[in-house]
Amino acid sequence: MKERNRDFCRHNPRRVLWMVASVVVLSLVSLLQQAWAQSNVTRRQQSKPKTEKKETYTRPKPTHKIAPEMPSQDRYVTNKVFLERADSLYHNEMNPGCQIVSGGVMFRQGNMRMYCDSAYYYGELNSLNAFGHVKMTSGDTLFVYADRMYYDGMQKLARLRHGPTQPQVKVQNRRVTLTSDSLFYSVAMDRGWYDCGGRLEDDVNVLTSRYGEYSPSLKTADFYGSVVLRGKKNGNQLLTDTLYYNTSTHEAQIVSRTDIYSSTDTIETSRGTYNTQTGNARLESRSTITHTDSNNNATKLTGDIIVYDKATRTSRAYMFDDPARVPRPMVLNDTAHKVRLISNYGEYNEVTRSAFATGNPMMVEYSRPDTNYLRADSIYTWIVQQRTVAPYTPRQQQLLDSLMAEQRTLDARADSIEAVCRRQIEHGDTSVVIPPRRNLVAERPELQRDSILKDFCVAKAIKHSRFFNQQIQAIADTMHLVQFDSLLYLKRKPIVWSDNRQVCGDSITVHFNDSTADYARVVNGFVAENVAEDFYNQLKGKAMFATFRDNQLRHLSVDDNVEVVLLPAEKDSTYNKIIKAESEHLTVDMADRELEKLKMWSAVDGTVTPIFKVKQGDKYLQGFQWQEALRPRREWYDGRWIWDDDLGDVSDEMIDYFKKEESQSGTLEEYFGQ
């Protein structure tokens, strides 16, 4: 066998060489594989983070958080944002200028401190992005809360958004809170604002709008777009488009169309100030305040300038002094009692329901078909309560209508019987008794009505007073118009005109039925009627009583010191004599503007003089004055009737008339005012 091997080696040298080379190559490959494996193990160990060995004991908790080490520099620079503390901090290799901090994070710029759960801090850019439980504080008065915030330290501007950790962005300054879904806050300007809807609340009001601004240091807030202010205690509401509000004084400055609603008042204005705490207001554009009483009756006050005092419940209205602002008069309209006051200046107290007007004032009473007008230097109005009969129910009214035809028949029969009886009495038959009239309404118990308390208006006009409607016109130094009993009282030098008649006296009382006068009383009266040029029927007496029907004089009675001057018309409507007479009593009956009957009795004395023999002094009774120049007049203008007295100017003739002594004595020239 050995010999065969030696022979194999001796006869195949190449094969031996190949075998040796193979062994060497295999050895080198093995060495290279071991080196490569060792290199991979080393590399993996270097790249793999070292895991700490678990400690076999409990480490004590740290007594304070470990803050990242800060570079040494002046940390009181007010324009630099400093990172004060964080639980962890590391750099982002993708953004080398950003530091990522988390856990108890706090930043500071000047006196403003900012807190959050985590943040991206850009030191070189002096800015940061904060996330989670974001909070900004300045001292112990200003606090800002949000879920996210971007803060630009160069502009000192924060952009805050709501999120899971903070449902709404909130700025708190003592008792003022500003909230919104997103909000901007400028530390430099000390002002926060929102532009997508928000709310401001203090201890008095809640305000909402589309856009709003608030300055904690100035205590001012500006609101724009769908602004709503609501009082927390009184429930008052203010609606406008633009509003400036002071959180310290709770005063709102109005600069656009604004409506203010309270439980009893409504204000419409476009400029002024309104104190939401006291309720006082100063309105400096054409504005209206509407007062509503418990019965839902409204009284409206309109003026160029209105000052409202909530404590006294008094409103004062003025006209503009500047002609460039187009002054317009104050208007007070009582819709319940149908009374309107117009003047340069006016006051209204909603508690006493009283009003005062001066500066060419005019009162318009439009409760009747014929509107009544009252003018004076000053006018007062107030409301009184009186018991009156309740109105008929629909069922009672139906029964009443059915009885009216029968009642009119009975009245006509009673009139004829009464006329016959009066003639018999006048002929001396003292046994005749006028039978009483039947009243079908009084006989029906179902038509009886209860008495109720009702409000009525009373007006008092002082100095240079004038009253006018289509039927009568009057002047006096003082007038009272009482709505309850429909009476007009005239005192000191009163004059009343109706058609071509004039009535003067010491005092005159006129009673109205609807819009027409139905009776009048005159003390120391003087009646004159113009019947022809320079000729007047005249009547004097200490006590006069007149009744009217359909705007015409129906009956007149005069007592004590009766004096008469009459110019009777002939059948051909001419005048040829004058009757002058005196007596103690006089009665006159009129029908269709014609004298039906005149009776004078008890010591009658008189004369009849042909007109061509009448002296000038015999035409007039002593004290006669025809004062047509003082009479309020109407003119047709621009398609309607207007009164000359619409502007309220007092004529020189009227001023002179009230200055004169009340004595009726004087010459004929004085009688005519010549």
The per-residue pLDDT for 217 is 92
The per-residue pLDDT for 40 is 53
- Joined together, the tokens standing for residue 482 give 């009482």
Higher pLDDT, 355 or 96: 355
Residue position matching structure tokens 């982002």: 92
Confidence tier at 639 by pLDDT (50, 70, 90): low
Total number of residues shown for the chain: 674
Give CA angle at 493 (492, 498), nearest 5°.
120
pLDDT at 58 over 60: no
Domains and CATH numbers, the chain: 64-196 (2.60.450.10)
The full 3-state SS of 344-386, as one line of letters, equals CEEEEECCCCEEEEECCCEEEECCCCCCEEEECCEEEEEEEEE
Sign of the C-alpha dihedral, residues 61, 64, 67, 71?
negative
Partners of 453 in the β-ladder: 387
User: Which of 374, 314, 303, 311 shows the shortest CA–CA distance to 349?
Assistant: 314
- Tell me which of 20-29, 98-107, 419-428, 532-541 is least confident: 20-29
The per-residue pLDDT for 476 is 93
The per-residue pLDDT for 665 is 40
pLDDT at 34 over 60: no
Q: How far is residue 543's CA from residue 449's CA, in Å, rounded to a whole number?
A: 36
User: Which of 355, 395, 400, 398 shows the shortest CA–CA distance to 378?
Assistant: 355
- Tell me which of 310-319, 494-503, 563-572, 629-638 is least confident: 629-638
pLDDT at 667 over 90: no
The per-residue pLDDT for 385 is 82
Partners of 383 in the β-ladder: 457
The per-residue pLDDT for 432 is 82
The per-residue pLDDT for 284 is 94
User: Which of 507, 462, 452, 449 shows the shortest CA–CA distance to 484?
Assistant: 452
What would the DSSP string read from start to end of 444-491?
-GGG---EEEEEEEEEEEEEEEEEE-SS-EEEEEEEEEETTTTEEEEE
Mean pLDDT of the chain: 84
**What does the DSSP 8-state code read for residue 69?**
P
The per-residue pLDDT for 29 is 54
Q: pLDDT (tens digit, 9 = 90+) per residue, 252-268?
A: 999 999 999 998 889 99
Higher pLDDT, 553 or 527: 527
For the CA atoms of 266, 270, 273, 277, what is the dihedral angle to 10 degrees? 30
User: pLDDT over 90 for what percent of the chain?
Assistant: 43
pLDDT at 71 over 70: no
Higher pLDDT, 358 or 67: 358
The per-residue pLDDT for 550 is 75
Average pLDDT over residues 620-645: 77
- Beta strands 112-122 and 95-109, pairing class: antiparallel
Confidence tier at 65 by pLDDT (50, 70, 90): very low
The per-residue pLDDT for 516 is 75
Q: How far is residue 296's CA from residue 385's CA, in Å, rounded to a whole number?
A: 17
**What does the DSSP 8-state code read for residue 166?**
B
**What does the DSSP 8-state code read for residue 156?**
T
The per-residue pLDDT for 418 is 85
The per-residue pLDDT for 52 is 46
Q: pLDDT (tens digit, 9 = 90+) per residue, 311-324?
A: 999 999 999 988 88
The per-residue pLDDT for 500 is 86
Q: pLDDT (tens digit, 9 = 90+) per residue, 372-406?
A: 888 999 999 998 887 777 777 888 888 888 888 88
User: Which of 524, 519, 529, 532 shows the shortest CA–CA distance to 506?
Assistant: 524
Average pLDDT over residues 122-147: 94
Residue position matching structure tokens 């009547």: 539
The per-residue pLDDT for 646 is 54
Evaluate whether 300 touches 283 at the Cβ level (below 8 Å): no
Q: Which residues contact 365 (CB under 8 A, 6 or more apart)?
A: 338, 339, 340, 371, 372, 373, 374, 457, 459, 481, 483
pLDDT at 5 over 70: no
Confidence tier at 672 by pLDDT (50, 70, 90): very low
- Burial of residue 289 (number of CB atoms within 10 Å: 0-12, 13-18, 19+): buried
The full 3-state SS of 547-615, as one line of letters, equals EEECCEEEEEEEEEEEEEEECCCCCCCCCCEEEEEEEEEEEEEEECCEEEEEEEECCCEEEEEEHHHCC
Average pLDDT over residues 95-112: 91
Q: pLDDT (tens digit, 9 = 90+) per residue, 185-228?
A: 999 999 999 999 999 999 999 999 999 999 999 999 999 999 99
Q: pLDDT (tens digit, 9 = 90+) per residue, 416-425?
A: 888 888 888 8
Residue position matching structure tokens 């009139």: 415
**What does the DSSP 8-state code read for residue 639?**
T
- Joined together, the tokens standing for residue 560 give 């004590």
User: How distant, in Å, are the alpha carbons of 250, 405, 540, 551 from that of 273?
Assistant: 11, 63, 61, 52
User: Which of 115, 120, 116, 123 shows the shortest CA–CA distance to 154?
Assistant: 123
Q: How far is residue 177's CA from residue 170's CA, in Å, rounded to a whole number?
A: 7
pLDDT at 4 over 50: no
Give SS3 for 324.
helix
Q: How far is residue 434's CA from residue 419's CA, in Å, rounded to a whole number?
A: 9
Query: Cβ–Cβ contacts within 10 Å for residue 358, how many?
Result: 17
